[in-house]
Amino acid sequence: MRMKLTGVLAGIGLVLSSGTSVFAQELTIFWAEWDPANYLQELVNEYTAETGVTVRVETTPWADFQTKAFAEFNAHGDAYDLVVGDSQWLGAGSEGGHFVDLTEFFEKHNLHEVFVPATIKYYSEYNGKYWAIPTEGDANGWAYRKDWFEDPAEKAAFKEKYGYELDVPKDYKQLRDIAEFFHRPDEGRYGIAIYTDNSYDGLIMGVEQTIFSYGGELGDYGTYQVQGITNSPENIEALEMYRELYQFTPPNWGKTFFLENNQAITEGLAAMSMNYFAFFPALANPATNPHAENTGYFVNPAGPGGAQFAALGGQGMSIVSYSQNKEEAFKFLEWFIREDVQQKWGALGGYTCHAAVLESEEFRKATPFNEAFYQSMQIVKDFWAVPEYAELLSQMNNRVYPYVVGGQGTAKEALDGLAADWEETFKRYGRLN
């Protein structure tokens, strides 16, 4: 009996081993757990159909994404062949030797012309080389309640109070006025939903796009100078505005990110809500948003000087240096950048960065928010991408959060402190003398 069993097991083993050697090619892409990752899995299934190479999109919750990815990189693990990583990772990924240099690949396929310039600058480029293929374009935009904005009674009351028509805000002053106007805690209605989560980059994305639109900068990304830039008068004014907007948020809005900000619309809490475009499909879907018909979208408004920017979200796809299937991964990327594939990517719900697809009428009319997305992608700006960006994020959270949410100190004190922190950090890493 024992002999028989051993024979059967050996047989199974032989079949399995020969089976895997025939269909050995398998690629694993690592990404965060959200809808676009599901769309990507749908897309890559077509690659499997075409080539026979199995591609699996492995995901992990957002809160864990950075930690898990870098734990694997630091251990030089080969669990992932490709990773769809955050734009801020470029510094750590390239300087740490975790990403494969794609500069040649970029030149060969002339990708500078294929993808929107801003997406190449932020998702791909670091220190003059290219490390990732723009994959999921994303920017911070706004959703708003069209029915509240278009209500004639509201329109008349607004005009009487503020002296101009109630419409989609064109600048931050209007954004603030509208937030104040709709902020009615007694009716269970609130003015605005903004990001306040300080555990990673939520709050910072909200604050930085206000700073950029006020004509400010986080620092000089080339020379790492921060004094006088991080704490410039424009930045102070912008931070004060963000604090003011926080006064018009729903109750318990002290640790909110994309989930809560979508809820602000689906539960009819707020008139306007900041969020990444990647989360807007859920707002346009009547199954997940009872107010889907009445939800409109707009681009982050301009600051007092007319500058207009949106915080960059989104990710690029890189080949992991420790992968055993680099050659296959390159073949996959060659497929992924094809225009017809990018078109499908857009149609499935992915935010393509492919210039021709993005500019096409078809894409811009496909959803109620694609036009705002297209416009936002032209004005995106990002946080620092240096390898120590996570320290910079922590320091900014520590300085800015107590002021915005807790009302402690002044905007000037917060940003003076931040400039000192950053200066010290850059000196420690030898970027600044």
Partner 1 sequence: MTTAALDRLDPQARAAARGWSDIKIRNMFIIPTILFLIVFNIFPLLYSLGYSFTDFRASVNAPASFIGLENYRRLLSDPNIWRNFTVTAKYVIVSVGGQMIVGFGVALLLNRAFPFKGFVTTLLLLPMMMSMAVVGLFWKLLYDPSWGIINYALGLGRFDWLSNPDMALYAVAITDIWMWSPFVMLLSLAGLSAVPKHLYEAAAIDRASSWYTFTRITLPLVSPLLLIALIFRTMEAFKSFDLPFIMSGQPTTEVIAIRLYKMAFQEWQTGLSCALAYIMLIVVIAITNVYIKYLNRVKER
Residue 392 has φ and ψ, to the nearest 5°, of: -65, -40
Region from 34-42, 96-104, 217-225, 303-311 binding partner 1, contact rule CB under 8 A: 96-104
Question: CA-to-CA distance for 266 and 261, rounded, in angstroms?
Answer: 9
Question: CA-to-CA distance for 164 and 48, rounded, in angstroms?
Answer: 56
Contact call for residue 127 and partner 1 (CB under 8 A): no
CB nearer to partner 1: pick between 286 and 406: 406
Question: CA-to-CA distance for 399 and 245, rounded, in angstroms?
Answer: 18
Q: Which of 70, 105, 162, 335 binds partner 1 (CB under 8 A)?
A: 70
> In the structure encoding, which two tokens stand for residue 243, read together?
């604090």
Query: Min. distance of Cβ 422 from partner 1 in angstroms?
Result: 14
- Count of residues near partner 1 by CB under 8 A: 35
Question: CA-to-CA distance for 335 and 331, rounded, in angstroms?
Answer: 6
Query: Min. distance of Cβ 89 from partner 1 in angstroms?
Result: 10
CB nearer to partner 1: pick between 40 and 69: 69
> In the structure encoding, which two tokens stand for residue 317, read together?
């796809």
3-state secondary structure of 419: helix
Question: CA-to-CA distance for 193 and 259, rounded, in angstroms?
Answer: 11
Scan residues 182-211 and list those touching partner 1 (CB under 8 A): 185, 197-200
Scan residues 381-400 and list those touching partner 1 (CB under 8 A): 387-388, 390-391, 393-394, 397-398
Contact call for residue 430 and partner 1 (CB under 8 A): no
Query: Min. distance of Cβ 205 from partner 1 in angstroms?
Result: 15
Query: Own/partner pairs for 418-424, CB < 8 Å, 24+ apart?
Result: 418/230, 418/231, 419/226, 419/227, 419/228, 419/229, 419/230, 419/231, 421/395, 422/219, 422/226, 422/230, 422/392, 422/395, 423/226, 423/227
Contact call for residue 406 and partner 1 (CB under 8 A): yes
Region from 27-35, 66-74, 212-220, 368-376 binding partner 1, contact rule CB under 8 A: 66-74
Q: Which of 60, 78, 96, 227 binds partner 1 (CB under 8 A)?
A: 96
CB nearer to partner 1: pick between 194 and 310: 194
Contact call for residue 401 and partner 1 (CB under 8 A): yes
Query: Min. distance of Cβ 73 from partner 1 in angstroms?
Result: 7
Query: Min. distance of Cβ 200 from partner 1 in angstroms?
Result: 8
CB nearer to partner 1: pick between 198 and 232: 198
Query: Min. distance of Cβ 424 from partner 1 in angstroms?
Result: 10
Question: Reading across the β-sheet that carries 270-276, which strands appear in turn?
Answer: 190-193, 270-276, 140-145, 295-299
Scan residues 216-275 and list those touching partner 1 (CB under 8 A): 250-255
Contact call for residue 402 and partner 1 (CB under 8 A): yes
Match 């009872």 to its residue by tokens.
290
CB nearer to partner 1: pick between 227 and 394: 394
Query: Min. distance of Cβ 129 from partner 1 in angstroms?
Result: 16
Exposure string over 197-221, b if 16+ CB within 10 A, otherwise e:
bbebbbbbbbbbbbbbbbbbbbbee
CB nearer to partner 1: pick between 202 and 216: 202
> In the structure encoding, which two tokens stand for residue 392, read together?
């910079």
CB nearer to partner 1: pick between 149 and 401: 401
Q: How far apart are the first and last CA of the chain?
A: 77
Amino acid at residue number 266 = T
Contact call for residue 66 and partner 1 (CB under 8 A): yes
Contact call for residue 95 and partner 1 (CB under 8 A): yes
Distances (CA, A) of 45 to 54, 55, 348, 398: 8, 7, 12, 43
Contact call for residue 350 and partner 1 (CB under 8 A): no
CB nearer to partner 1: pick between 115 and 126: 126
Question: CA-to-CA distance for 99 and 115, rounded, in angstroms?
Answer: 20
Contact partners, residue 187, CB within 8 Å, separation at least 6: none
Distances (CA, A) of 36 to 88, 274, 312: 19, 19, 16
Which x/- pattern over 136-175 shows residues binding partner 1 (rule: CB under 8 A)?
----------------------------------------
Binding residues vs partner 1 (CB under 8 A): 66-67, 70-71, 73-74, 92, 95-98, 185, 197-200, 250-255, 387-388, 390-391, 393-394, 397-398, 401-402, 405-406, 408
